[in-house]
Amino acid sequence: MTEKNLLMLFVRNPELGKVKTRLAASVGPETALDIYLHLLQHTRSVTQELPMDKVVYYSERVEEQDMWPSQQYQKQVQPAGDLGERMSASFAAAFADGYTSVVIIGSDCLQLTSDIILKAFENLKTHEVVVGPALDGGYYLLGMNGLHPELFQDKRWSTEHVFPDTLYDIERLHLSHALLPYLSDIDNLEDLENLEANWPG
């Protein structure tokens, strides 16, 4: 069976007052937007040259002339529903399109590297699921080589329970899995302060 890999990027349209709202409560909406734009640019820099198909899923609407070059990234709007429903529908669409290994990432992780994403696809050659756990109890990456909708159901999104509950389901379903390194997402001021060593300037 021929390998056909897809990397899905879930992003928010970068608009003032609509991104990084938890962080904005501490630093203000303008600074929060600047930080989010930096996170988007980092995500682009670590994904742009990767050797697989890529699709950017926007929260609101497709932006044609933006930082995501159309010749390297397909562009779509995220499906309807809560985060789990949106991710599940996106994975289902990818497998329906004939992809054999599908990985999803967000745009909140300054520590994410091209090598980690490549490692995720490498792991999917020998495992059914791969997860990149975040230090806050969520995950920054999820990959699978078949649809397992249970991993998106009955989750307390945006809480510290997401990764443990997902891992519980993976083990309950007896899915072979691999874990990537624990990394830090940036959702609030404490996360940002913990990563100041990586911050430019």
Give the chain's domain count.
1
* Residue bearing the bigger pLDDT, 53 or 158: 53
Which CATH number does the domain housing residue 42 bear?
Answer: 3.90.550.10
Q: Where are the alpha helices (DSSP H) in 48-138?
A: 83-96, 114-123
- Is 46:7 a contact under the CB 8 Å cutoff? no
Domain that holds residue 106: 5-192
200 falls within a domain: no
* Residue bearing the bigger pLDDT, 2 or 199: 2
197 falls within a domain: no
pLDDT in tens, 143-171: 999 999 999 999 999 899 999 999 999 99
Residue with tokens 């997902």: 166
162 falls within a domain: yes
Length of the chain: 201
199 falls within a domain: no
Q: Whose CA is closest to 91, among 148, 37, 47? A: 148
**Per-residue pLDDT at 187:** 73
171 falls within a domain: yes
